[in-house]
Amino acid sequence: MALAEDKGAIGRFRLFGIDIRINASWLVIAVLVAWSLATGALPEVYKGLSAGGYWLMAALVVLGLALSIIFHEVAHTLVARAFGMQVDRITLFLFGGVADLKTEPPSALSELLMAAAGPAFSLVASLALAVAAGVGQAAHATSAAAALAYLATLNFVLAIFNMTPAFPLDGGRVLRAILWMITRSADRATRIAASVSGVIALAMIGFGLAGVLLGHGVAGLWWVLIGFFLRTAVHGYDVDLKARRALEGVSPALAMTSPLETVPAAATLDEFVEGRVYGSRHKVYPVMLDGACVGTIEADAVLSVPRAAWATTTVGDICAPPPATIEAGRELDAAALLVRMREQGLNHMLVLDEGQLVGMVTLDDLLKLVDVELKFRPPPRLKAA
């Protein structure tokens, strides 16, 4: 699974060299799950415990679930890395966990093994937890045994649910890998899998709405949310894949802002607004001092300075440090540049030639280039496995 740049992380740590992030939405769902378990599900199944005992069991289950999801995604990541794919981050969020896959699988087999690794781990974990629960029950460790048994069930459900053949779930990638093997075309397999995912997402939404009408409010709404999440995710994946396909092999020079307009560091903000903001209406400008680029300034940055100070404040006073750069003429294509900008959270990059500024590429430029490539370039040949 893949997720866009996470800006709501409330905690992070590293495991096997992988950046693990906890999104604020996971904390919300963890509290709700713990409350639901401690006040409802657990007392119904395991009777006779104190309120504190139920809350302790609930806390153990939530912690164990978090670890289960993390190791589920770690399994994906380790297999992906074995095949040369780049995965730098795993995020816990509202609907579980995602491993942020930066590159597409190189073959159908690599995708199949990577996608199956997570559910396989969950099934093994479910069996191990069930055995541990039996040992705990025999040792009369009732609360611990109950928590382990519940975790065993959750891991089994996690494995089965993730094998639903819909993106971005693991089953969706397994389906695409199998279709890729059959059709020998990654693009055709993606289109078919995306269509299947859309149908499943609509079915989930319909099932959830029916549940709401029949009085199963919370459960029904949960299915509706999952359905909308899947529809949004598969659409985002399709758009992202089309963009990367359109930019593969395309020189970043075609996306460079032209003409490149710079602003002297010594220019006042009044001069900058009159001469550049009104004149050309670009969003960002390189800032030059003695022939060298010393930073960039976005038009909106001026608004952070009181208007009365525009006449005495220079662009150099408020410009941002130079962003990441690329060297002109390198083998980096526009698709790789788009991925790099997303990874680093940048909306523009400077293009240098032997240390001298020769251009700038913005995300807007890349998106416009995608539009042109999709409209006017001949469709690429379908890629074989």
- Pair type for strands 292-298 and 284-289: antiparallel
- How far is residue 272's CA from residue 261's CA, in Å, rounded to a whole number? 11
Q: Tell me the one-letter amino acid at 61.
A: V
C-alpha to C-alpha distance for 360 and 326, rounded to whole angstroms: 9
Instruction: Match 């690794």 to its residue by tokens.
Output: 117
β-strands 87-93, 18-23 pairing: parallel
Catalytic residue chosen out of the listed positions 44, 73, 248, 298: 73
Cβ pair 342, 366 in contact under 8 A? no
- Helices 170-183 and 186-213: crossing angle, nearest 10°? 140
Tokens read off for 182? 């059959």
Instruction: For residue 232, give every residue at least 6 positions away whose Cβ sits within 8 Å of its Cβ, in sequence order, or none.
Output: none
Angle at CA of residue 92, ends 88 and 97, nearest 5°? 80
Burial class (CB in 10 A: 0-12, 13-18, 19+), 255: buried
Long-range contacts formed by 342-349: CB under 8 A, 24+ apart: 342/4, 342/5, 343/88, 343/102, 345/5, 347/283, 347/284, 348/284, 348/296, 348/323, 349/323, 349/324, 349/325
- Cis peptide bond N-terminal to 119, omega within 30: no
Residue 382's CB is within 10 A of a number of other CB atoms, namely 13
The string over 10-43, giving b where at least 16 C-beta atoms fall within 10 Å of a residue's C-beta and e elsewhere, is eeeeeeeebebbbbeebbebbeebbeebbeebbb
Q: At what angle do helices 108-138 and 142-162 cross, to 10 degrees?
A: 160
Known catalytic residue: 248? no
* φ, ψ dihedrals at 380, nearest 5°: -70, 155
Reference 166, options 215, 229, 212; nearest CA is: 229
Catalytic residues, which ones? 73
